Chain A
Amino acid sequence: MAEALLRVEDLRVEFPSEDGVVHAVDGITYQVQQGKTLGIVGESGSGKTVSSLTTLGLTRRQGARISGRIMFGGRDLVSLPEGELRSIRGNEIAMIFQDPLSSLHPLYKVGRQLIEALQAHKDISRSAARSRAVELLGLVGIPDPQRRVDEYPHEFSGGMRQRAMIAMALANDPKLLIADEPTTALDVTVQAQILALMERLQQELGMAIVIITHDLGVVAEVADDIAVMYAGRIVETASADAVFSSPEHPYTWGLLKSIPRLEASRSEMLVPIPGTPPSLIRPPSGCHFHPRCAYAQPDHARIDPALEPVPDDPSHFVACLLEPEERRRLWAELKAGRIPEQALADVSAEGSS
């Protein structure tokens, strides 16, 4: 395998707060290959945003304590001085966010915001930057870019705003685009447009993408590889096909089985994950998932499972203490629609916690 474009190793991000230290990211490791898409899935508060902001060095000024390594182009972004990091931001690594309206400055014209992005890294005249801005807006499929470049974000529709954000991110031909829930605030039809746009741009420009989302459908559409995050850790990572066809972690099963699917029969039961996501100030001991896991054994509350490859797929990693055969058996049952008793046992107990 070629050298990865981005290699995150044992990254930890902690925020000291009044109630205690928030362990937002608790030792995660992943890689992004050149020109490929990695999907990071997990529910809100699992540390997805913090880990990607840290890649750009944007959690530093929030008082975060950061350890581990983020290797990009032979440099470690964790220890890189602010000045050098700034020349990477928006240049080699670009980022787009969940809410395109609040992510654009409301008082500046879209064109000006694009020009700013260009001039931050290139010595380029205003008029040249402006015509490049028009070109970029055209590239992301905004109709009539000549006129639109002089409009304000509030004059754009939600989908067009996200397109404008993407145009801004592409301004300096980044090698990596980090998209943090880029379609969560959008309607399905617009979401489909934006995802198609991202795929097209990836093919044309050859950049790698990290897409963060809580929607398994979205990662299934666009990701080559998937990392599943829970409570600040990666619990499973593999190729997209492997995650959907033979998921190994009980949390991944929970995610797959708790969303209604279009193609499923109406009588199929949803299997909710009982309980609620844990506090990251005092995360559960041992396997972070054990309080909500239907298959937890007593020692899972003590032992920290390591992210290890599964027996016959060296690129498929999982952090679970169950025996591999046991996991296969349980998934086979779930997949066949037979819901193991354990999985339902705890469901109604949620209210009494």
Chain B
Amino acid sequence: MTGYVIRRVVWGIALLIIVCALTFLLFRIIPTGNPAVLRAGRDPQPQLIKEIERVLGLDKSLPTQFWDYIKGVFLHFNFGYSYYSQQSVLSLIRERLPATLSLTLGAAVVWMVAGLSIGIISALKRRTFWDRASMGTALVLISAPEFWLGLLALLLFSNDIGKLHLFPGAGSYVGLTADPLKWFTSLIMPWCVLAAGSAAVFARLMRGSMIETMDEDYIRTARAKGLPERRVIRQGVRSSINPIVTLLALEVGVLLGGAVLIEYVFNIPGVGLLAYHSIVQSDFEVIQGTVLLASMFIIIANIAADIGYAYLDPRVRYS
């Protein structure tokens, strides 16, 4: 098992380098505009552009640029600097990470709790009104774009432009330490909107998995032993969750992608918003920093899911 984890981590790092190379190439090959030109201001002198290019290192060959970058990241933990604010990418991200973590972790909780419990209840109440209604809603949520859902939520429930003045609107985010209550209320809508799609996917998966398990022989055995129905269901849930865990990591990617949009819609000053602005501004090193961060999360989630799966299933654990 330890050997396996080590191999996975090594692979993860290799994957990060590959991701680095790909984004590096992508944003330099597709014509998004020369950052030096963008920085030089209105009507720049060619001289000035050359000078900026030299300072930013853009005049060196692509491989050299890439090598410098990788060296910085892995040896000095230096992710470069924003072309615009001159701030280091690391400090930019560090500044904005709490907001993003608040958003994504909270959404993950909503996603898991809502998704799994709705799935379980639907499976147990198969073919009832509740089952049909919740699975129908789930189908709508899966296909609805988050962006649109977010706007709809604001128009319906925000206390500024909404029909019902229930929750704080866009731009109302404050840090957890500054005002815990406001932090919580301002995030309710973003959490739900961000979690909706994943929760819907998981509700459907869990329902399917649970229906399958409840037909298993060992569930029949549990009943034949005279266990109370509550305990029987618990046995069913225990094995239904297993196959879902492997899909967890996949959804983490979806969640992070969604976070960019949600931060934009709700104007939350997180890493997603940073990524959005840096893409608009061709701020290469910031883009790379955020992409790298997101990839790291996804890779860690994958490793965690695999280990979790092995932990949950003794048949895998021992082989």
Contacts and interface: CB of A to CB of B under 8 A. Distances in A.
Interface stretch (A1-9, A96-104, A244-252, A323-331): A96-104
B226 interface: yes
A131 B315 CA distance: 25
A89 B225 CA distance: 6
Contacts of B239: 105-107
Interface string A114-156: 0011001100000000000000000000000000000010110
A99 B217 contact: yes
Q: Which size class do A's interface residues fall under?
A: 20 to 34
Interface in B217-275: 217-218, 220-228, 231, 235, 238-239, 242
A182 to B, nearest CB: 13
Contact of B314 (A88, A120, A121, A154): A154
B242 A90 contact: no
A104 B315 CA distance: 13
Contacts of B227: 90, 116-117, 120
Given A86-B226, A107-B242, A58 B220 contact: yes
A171 B221 CA distance: 13
A81 B221 CA distance: 20
Interface in A295-310: none
A104 B235 CA distance: 11
B312 interface: yes
A91 interface: yes
B216 interface: yes
B313 interface: yes
15 contacts: A53-B220, A89-B223, A90-B225, A90-B227, A94-B225, A95-B224, A102-B217, A102-B218, A103-B217, A105-B235, A105-B239, A108-B235, A116-B227, A117-B226, A165-B221
Interface of B: 216-218, 220-228, 231, 235, 238-239, 242, 312-315, 318
Interface of A: 53, 56, 58, 86-91, 94-95, 97, 99, 102-108, 116-117, 120-121, 152, 154-155, 165, 168, 171
Query: Which 6 residue pairs across A and B have the least CB separation, nearest first?
Result: A90-B226, A89-B226, A90-B225, A102-B217, A105-B218, A152-B314
